[in-house]
Amino acid sequence: MIFLITKADLPDYTKVSANVGDHLINPVIRDAHIFDVGPLLSSGEQQALAAYLADANRPTFKTAYQQAEAQGFPAATLALLVASPLYRPHVLYTSAVRPLLCYETYRRFLLDHGAHVTENGVETFSTGNNAPISQGQRAEMRADAAAKCSHYRAVLAGALGTYRGPGASQTTCGTTRRPTSGGANVMAL
């Protein structure tokens, strides 16, 4: 699997420090790809986004897009951008896929960061003047991240509708939840 974000993408959206070790963040990025965003994209879409990220012309296109955006997308410039094969994957990636992957990674990161599996079980360590945040604060941070994930899932659904074009199957599997009567709820997404 080709990952569509790296640790370097996270600070654009979240409060994940660049100093977090790769061994701590890369498994979370992998899980966000596999379990959260990957199922929303077809394999062809994932391959198209990976090809877009590997395209040597992407930095030039990105700069041209940003300049046009700053100018309010003049009609002639927009027509040139839309004619580029990079346009559709750029819009899908920058408006929906990248932000959703970053927030899903952050949400997952908050779930277990600071917890360490030891021979005594799962523990947290505190040394020096550092202290772990309260469970309430962690829950609030996760709820905020989950709300942003929900927003970008909706953005992705709309972006995929545009990306796939008219007549394409417009399924949104896994984006709705059924009401429950409480207790544990396990759903296949």
For the chain, give the mean pLDDT.
85
Return the pLDDT at 183. 47
Tell me which of 24-28, 101-105, 135-139, 165-169 is least confident. 165-169
pTM for the model stands at 0.77
- Total domain count, the chain: 1
Q: Would residue 69 count as lying in a domain?
A: yes
The answer, yes or no, to whether residue 34 has pLDDT greater than 50, is yes
Domain that holds residue 101: 27-115+135-164
Distances from the Cα of 20 to the Cα of 10, 144, 150, 174, angstroms? 11, 21, 25, 31
Residue 36 lies in a domain: yes
127 lies in some domain: no
Tell whether 18 is covered by a domain.
no
Calculate mean pLDDT across residues 148-160. Answer: 94
pLDDT of residue 180 exceeding 80, the answer is no
pLDDT one-digit tens code per residue, 60-98: 999 999 999 999 999 999 999 999 999 999 999 999 999
Asked whether residue 37 is assigned to any structural domain, the reply reads yes
Task: Tell me, yes or no, whether 52 lies in a domain.
Answer: yes
